[in-house]
Amino acid sequence: MKIWRLTVVTKLDRNQAITVARESLSRQGGWITHHTLFSNHAATLNFELPSTSATAFIEKLAEAGLAAKYDGEIPGGDSGDLQGSLQMTFLHDDPDLKRDVPAFG
């Protein structure tokens, strides 16, 4: 199965942008299967979405100010789910978000 890869670069607050992406997915019948946060500069959301909802998902992101870029055409189909990855980069002047990591081992 091919994974649909989307990228977003935004000046929106990272928490707001992630919430917009999550709610846009949820409203189209999709869900987040995994996520990775890279300090406060980037996030990757892996998701599944009904293939018939891909266009509506892109439109909902755009309405909220998240213009997603992707290669090729928007995947579609009459049935089945679509696996995807949304990579978000957050533009700001804030310092890295530092968290203490407990010792391991």
* Model pTM score: 0.84
Q: What is the domain partition of the chain in residue ranges?
A: 4-90
Q: What are the pLDDT digits (tens) for 30-59?
A: 999 999 988 888 999 999 999 899 999 999
In this prediction, residues 17-24 reach a mean pLDDT of: 95
Q: What are the pLDDT digits (tens) for 64-79?
A: 999 999 988 888 777 7
Q: E-assigned strands of the chain? A: 4-10, 31-38, 42-50, 81-90
As a whole number, the mean pLDDT across the chain is: 89
In this prediction, residues 85-96 reach a mean pLDDT of: 86
pLDDT, residue 1, reads 59
| Contact indicator for 84, 7 with CB cutoff of 8 Å | no
Backbone angle region of 91, left / alpha / beta, with phi > 0 → left and psi within -120 to 50 → alpha: beta
